[in-house]
Structure 1
Amino acid sequence: MSLITLVNANAEHIPLADNSVQMIATSPPYFGLRDYGVAGQIGLEQTPAQYVARLVTVFRECRRVLREDGLMFVNLGDSYASHGGGAAGKELTYMGEEAKKRMAAKPPPGFKPKDLLGIPWRVAFALQDDGWYLRSDIIWHKPNPMPEPTKDRPTKAHEYVFLLTKSARYFWDAEAVAEKTDRVASAPRMFGASKQEGTMRKDIGNTFVDSGTRNIRSVWTVATQPYSGAHFATWPEKLVEPMVKAGSRPGDLVLDPFAGSGTTLRVAARLGRRAVGLDLSMKYLRENATQRTASVQMEITA
């Protein structure tokens, strides 16, 4: 397999074998925000419940291809019911015709105008109900958030990244993402450094004590990353890096079922992992993801 493989495919039917992927890192299309002009796209459902149900289907398929000790990071932003599910979280500059209709429509059934829909947590709890282990809610704090034309609430400056796992025990390299600190850890080491395993390395009593570092925190401050391409849903490489470092080893297979501009794949390849990216749009794969991953070995298939 090439270092990066791009596949023109539907994320609801992932063309990979069972238990073949070590980690997944992805940012699905947000609810009611964009019309990417591709049949079968996710994000333009009539209601939040329909959107959540489709993502549950996608991530059930992700769980099938994930190894038993694998994990998944899912980035989700929220939406408001002000204009039929109008969005807050990603840029509002470009919208397709269908998304424009949604912005002009009534709020989804069961919601009042100006309601925050709570999409990220609805998805997270639905995945938990479907069998995933919900391990952490990571706050992506944006020091440079998009301006919002609102004066009656705070400007949205964060999104959620959920850490979900297939099993109770899974691979997690705490050392790879440890944060620097002036404080010295004092927890006892149960085993010598040579016997440490990446799996659950942060467990009490199994911690490989290293002065000057601490366990990674759940608020990640990462500025948004400008991108001149046509894809609207780019997330910063610095946000993806700790995911790949903590959730996989060099040579492992990383999957992004919503590859888009290819950020996840680029980071994975740079860190020595193999990567597979899916996208419904062959145009985006050819014009955007391929441009951003041109410096690494790559193949693209339909």
Structure 2
Amino acid sequence: ADIIWAKGISFCDSYAGSVMPQSVQDRPSTSHEYVFLLSKSAHYFYDIEAVKEKAVEPERQRNERIGGANGHTVRHSPGGMMQASATRNLRSVWCINPAPLRESHFATFPPALVKPCILAGTSAGGCCPACLAPYERIVERKFQPQTDVSAVRGIRGANGQKGLDDSNTWAGYPRGTTAATTTGWRPTCACDAGDPVPATVLDPFCGAGTTLLVAERLGRDSIGIELNAEYCEMARRRIYDDAPLFAAVAGVDTPTKRTTP
């Protein structure tokens, strides 16, 4: 699977982004990069619950008048749907602004770009200390019937319509959604080697250490590989400055302090 990092978007008044200017005269400026989801096998760990997003307008009232484009008033009438799921699946286009960095590295990416990758690709519950198999999330799924927001608010309904009741079905099935709740974690192996240990994130080209920094924030262990000695020092300094006590426990020596602003 490939993910689009949209650093800038055209034809969108609410989000423009931040993109380095280009001198091209015969084509649009490139304002996106790719994030690839790669695996060594057809079956791999992916924590879908860890990266779910908050749903947009899950409680919009039926036939409610809302502002449309160009100042026009339109009606929100999704077939009587009320209170859908509070979350939605992560999408493949990410609008994330670049982040500033007070260091001499000119090919960095923002921590917000790394965070969902680590959340989805590693287990927050840790992994087996023997074989390193990730622990999987135990999820309890419960059907949540579709309800009428107007009825919940104690009113008759939008524009006087009758609120939804038990007869609210489609093709003989009740309307609604499935709510997921995490109840714990369980191993995916049969080693029985004791308590889980934190998952480890590897960045073979760690540069300024952004991946390692985010991994530490999320409670994961991390390994970075970098040929440039200055970048290694930069990464060590950033991790230490972000969490000096935690970094010291993890075995990161106190780095040289910066002398320039």
Report the TM-score, using the length of structure 1 for normalisation: 0.44
Q: Secondary structure at the match of 1:279?
A: coil
Q: Contact (CA 8 Å) 1:172, 1:248: kept in 2 or not?
A: yes
1:130 is matched with none
Any stretches of 5+ residues in structure 2 without a counterpart?
8-16, 59-83, 125-197, 254-261
Q: Any idea what SS the aligned residue of 2:37 has?
A: strand
2-structure distance, mates of 1:230, 1:180: 36
What is the match of residue 145 of structure 2? none
Cα offset, 1:151, TM superposition = 2.2
Separation in structure 1 between the aligned mates of residue 211 and residue 235 of structure 2, nearest angstrom = 10
**Contact 1:183/1:211, CA 8 A, preserved across alignment:** no
> Which residue, 237, 241, 248 being the options, matches 2:115?
241
Deviations 1:159-204 (A, max 9, x none): 00110011111111101101221477xxxxxxxxxxxxxxxxxxxx
> Secondary structure of 1:155's match?
coil
SS at match of 1:140: strand
Residue of structure 2 in register with 1:147 after alignment: 21
Q: Secondary structure in 2 aligned to 1:243?
A: helix
1:192-271, aligned counterparts within 5 Å? 211-250=85-124, 251-271=198-218
Letter in 2 for 1:253: T
The structure where helix makes up a greater share of residues is 1
Aligned residues of 1:255 and 1:275 also touching (Cα < 8 A): yes
Letter in 2 for 1:280: L
Paired residues of 1:224 and 1:235 also in contact (CA < 8 A): yes
Letter in 2 for 1:269: E
1:102-155 per-residue CA deviation (whole Å, 9 max, x = no partner) reads xxxxxxxxxxxxxxxxxxxxxxxxxxxxxxxxxx11000002111112222111
- Number of residue pairs matched? 140
C-alpha displacement at 1:258, in angstroms?
A: 0.4
Tell me which stretches of 4 or more aligned residues in structure 1 moved more than 2 Å.
Answer: 298-301
Distance 1:171 1:279 in 2: 26
| Residue 3 of structure 2: aligned partner | 138
Cα distance change of structure 1 residues 147 and 221 upon mapping to structure 2, 3 Å threshold? same
Percent of residue pairs bearing the same amino acid type: 49
Cα deviation code 1:225-250 (max 9, x no counterpart): 12121122211100000001111123
Q: Aligned partners of 1:168 and 1:249: how far apart in 2?
A: 18
Q: Residues of 2 paired with 1:152 and 1:237: CA distance? A: 33
Measured in 1, the distance between the counterparts of 2:24 and 2:215 equals: 38
* Structure 1: unaligned runs, 5 residues or longer: 1-135, 185-209
Q: How much has 1:284 moved relative to structure 2?
A: 1.3
Higher relative contact order (CA 8 A, sep 6+): 1
Q: What amino acid sits opposite 1:173 in the alignment?
A: D
